[in-house]
Amino acid sequence: MQAVENIQKVLSELDPCKLKVLALSSVGVGGLLCYLAWRRQPKKIPFGDGWWRVGEKPFAEDRTIRPFVVETSEDVIQDLYERIDRMRYTDSLEDARFHYGFNSTHLKKVASYWRHEFDWGKQVKVLNKYPHFKTNIEGLDVHFIHVKPVQRAGQKVLPLMLVHGWPGSFFEFYKIIPMLTKTDGDFVFEVICPSIPGYGYSEASQVQGFTAIAAARIFHKLMDRLEFTDYYIQGGDWGAFITTIMALIKPECVRGLHLNMVNARAGGVKAVISLLLGRYFPFLVGFTREDVCRMYPFMQKNVYELLRESGYMHIQATKPDTAGCGLNDSPVGLAAYILEKFSSWTDFKNRNLEDGGLERKYSLDDLLTNIMIYWTTGSIIPSMRFYKENMGYDFQKIMTNTTKVSVPTGFAAFPHELMHCPWVWASSRFRDLRSFTYMPRGGHFAAFEEPELLAQDVQQFVKKVESRRSK
């Protein structure tokens, strides 16, 4: 009471004009603080809803989860062999290596192995070693694998969704899954790995407009159907976009977000200044020495490199059905189109090799298994359409720095990723960046290429998040 009386005495002795100024100042400061607090509030994308079939949405949704088994008829295999046998090749230019795309001399060897040695029946058994399921969400049969952990006494089980990209599939995660579902730490993961609708065994939309936002919403609905209320999510390529949107749609459900590709950059003039100064004065713009080493060899010939590696994207973002017709008709053409990406996106230096360096990091069996998922499901065209659907204004606006991500985030920066994102750019968009690791090796297909490194980084990120949650 004495403190209150002292304040009242001071206020009574103040000049009325000064009192008015003090009041206005308080209102101004309060208003500024409220504005700053509002600016700090995480922005959420509306959850929305969708229906991706032709016709009316039914009143009641079928929520059943059905077991699924990968299988292929002998007729499909015989048709594949006949198409491989009928392939017309064009001779490569002298010493072309992979600078013109997939070298046709090496392509003949890959096709011969596919035709005469590759055992699809054996690979189907590999695919079926994990439990597969389908469930209908927003009119689409969504495929996923669900792997329960090998839990030791005292271990906490944490749900983790892994999301692939293009031209990959759920199969990219087959080597990393056992590293996550059986661990020696305080926690172990229960892994859910869906196929993006239009890819592999997940049904494609029948109508226009199916974007990464729709995929993110469907995957949240999938986790809800599996009775998970909060969970970790991880992705690269389209998987990185989808999981980032998941964190923006329902941040309350995302325990943590781990990425091996980040879409974040300084905007406008700030980006130009960062790039101009970063080469010679990195400390002025927040770049580390490692950022400089990873960015500028590429930046010095940036325009040419982007042209060399983004032609597919221009095609798929404009006329996917036209190019897709040929790929859906020719298995060898499909293999050339997809495997060329596994060559150059693993390491640009692979373009200098006669065989594209494909078997330096992958086996032909694994690469062809991924191709067979596309071929046997006829999903190459819908997977390509995903680019056209996503390249609209709304998607670009959502995925820029204007929409901040508030959930705990970890980033594994692989040295041969298509574009390096410095920590300072990533932290400007991801407000709670708990982990940023400069990985020692690896490229775009992290889980497929370096599963052990990626698994270790996911585990150390989750350990940091769980440690703070327990405190």
Query: Which residues are tagged catalytic?
Result: 237, 387, 444
What is the Cα–Cα distance from 286 to 307, expressed in whole angstroms? 28
Question: Residue 107: how many CB atoms within 10 A of its CB?
Answer: 22
Direct distance between the N- and C-terminal alpha carbons of the chain, in angstroms, rounded to an integer: 37
Question: Residue 280: how many CB atoms within 10 A of its CB?
Answer: 9
What is the Cα–Cα distance from 76 to 170, expressed in whole angstroms? 21
Q: Are 316 and 387 in contact (CB under 8 A)?
A: yes
Beta pairing partners, 99: 101
For the record, the structure tokens of 27 come out as 């209102």
DSSP code of 57?
P
Helices (H), 128-194: 177-181
What is the Cα–Cα distance from 332 to 83, expressed in whole angstroms? 8
For the record, the structure tokens of 447 come out as 């889980």
User: Strand 140-147 and strand 156-163: pairing?
Assistant: unpaired
Beta pairing partners, 144: 133, 194
Residues in Cβ contact with 84 at an 8 Å cutoff, skipping those fewer than 6 apart: 111, 114, 115, 331, 332
For the record, the structure tokens of 289 come out as 């020495």
User: Strand 187-194 and strand 156-163: pairing?
Assistant: parallel
For the record, the structure tokens of 347 come out as 């390491």
DSSP element (H, E) containing 141: strand 140-147
For the record, the structure tokens of 406 come out as 């508030």
Nearest C-alpha neighbor of 193 from the set 168, 167, 171: 171
